[in-house]
Amino acid sequence: MKNVLVTGGAGFIGSNFIRYLLRSEKDIKVVNFDALTYAGNLESLSDIAEDPRYLFAQGNICDEAQVNEALHEHQIDTIVHFAAETHVDRSILGPRQFVETNVLGTFTMLEAARTYWLKEKGQPVEDVRFHHVSTDEVFGSLKPGELAWTEETPYAPNSPYAASKASSDHLVRSYGHTFGLPFTITNCSNNYGPYQFPEKLIPVIILNALEGKPLPVYGDGQQVRDWLHVEDHCEAIHLVLSKGKSGSTYNIGGENQPANLTIVETICDILDEIQPKSEHSPHRNLIKFVTDRPGHDRRYDMDTHKISAELGWHPRHTLKEGLLDTVQWYLSHPDWVSSIRQKQEYQGWMDANYKSR
């Protein structure tokens, strides 16, 4: 890796990955290619904005000309493709944007990489890599007692979001098989940690609890997820880029499967502990069960034996440690939270999704 293009680098996982990459690689150039939609925030990278190895290039992954220009101008040899619409609830209310961004956007990126790397020979083929970041939701939903998903599990997506990501995964594989494009894919479980856009479960619960607002829990709260700290995810992707076999797929998970209600209760208990004088304690009293989302998958579980055996990766964060770290991060970054909440689009979405439940 010398010249790396990170799509969606102003988003939650992308910004954390850029920061991790700059810490881990000294002789590298990182280009952050982001359209700055509602989820993109350059304030998430303010601490490295002056690093001479880092450059921001505003662009849309669906715009062929912008993508081609970025690859040529910066002589890109590695693409790490995070850019995507990622929120299941948003995909239920407006699926078209998910198809356009996740499917057509990935197609545009693949075509640009194929043209520059394979047709024009812009970089030696043995030195290039297209890494695609995907999700465990492409596998569908597990019943109680069913074995965890492996890299060989057939896809069975249940939401428009999951279907759009499954489609993009298939496109990436097809470009490897048909055109010989060097690629890797990682399917990760639910991420959490610093800089997560405050519409997802964990930041919603943290911020609502701090303000004494209801803590919305979908259905009975017994939906089971695998929770992965974003820094562990970044380390895993870096290992795949450095040591992973081209043409391979790797599952990345946090190696834990609590119910959503357990996550909410744990956050409440953490806040009780670190803010014992809060007028909202005990924070569990704020929990409010609300109407479930349509077609809500019941259980996810990731088998991570492959990445552990081949690359020696294991998550470093326990769930309790990771949640404590995350709560403390949001407590110490009120300005970042405020900058997000002031956006009209953010408040409109929160009203649309939660007020009717």
The residues assigned a catalytic role are 136-137, 161
Retrieve residue 213's tokens: 């607002």
Classify burial at 37, counting beta carbons within 10 Å of its beta carbon; exposed 0-12, middle 13-18, buried 19 or more: middle
**Cβ atoms within 10 Å of 248's Cβ, excluding its own:** 16
Spatial distance between the Cα atoms of 18 and 264, rounded to a whole number of angstroms: 29
How far, in whole angstroms, is CA 247 from its chain's centroid? 21
Q: How far apart are CA 205 and CA 213, in angstroms?
A: 9
Residue with tokens 């939903």: 141
Q: How many CB atoms lie within 10 A of CB 8?
A: 27
Question: How many CB atoms are closer than 10 A to CB 305?
Answer: 12
Radius of gyration of the chain (CA): 20
List phi, psi (to 5°) of 5.
Answer: -100, 120
CA distance between the termini of the chain: 47
Distance, in Å, from the CA atom of 172 to the CA atom of 140, rounded to the nearest integer, reads 20
Structure tokens, 68: 């081609």
Coil, helix or strand at residue 56: strand
Buried-exposed string 308-345: b where 16+ CB fall within 10 A, e elsewhere: beebebebebebeebbbebbebbeeeeebbeebeeeee
In this structure, is the dihedral angle defined by the CA atoms of residues 162, 78, 229 and 94, taken in order, positive or negative?
negative
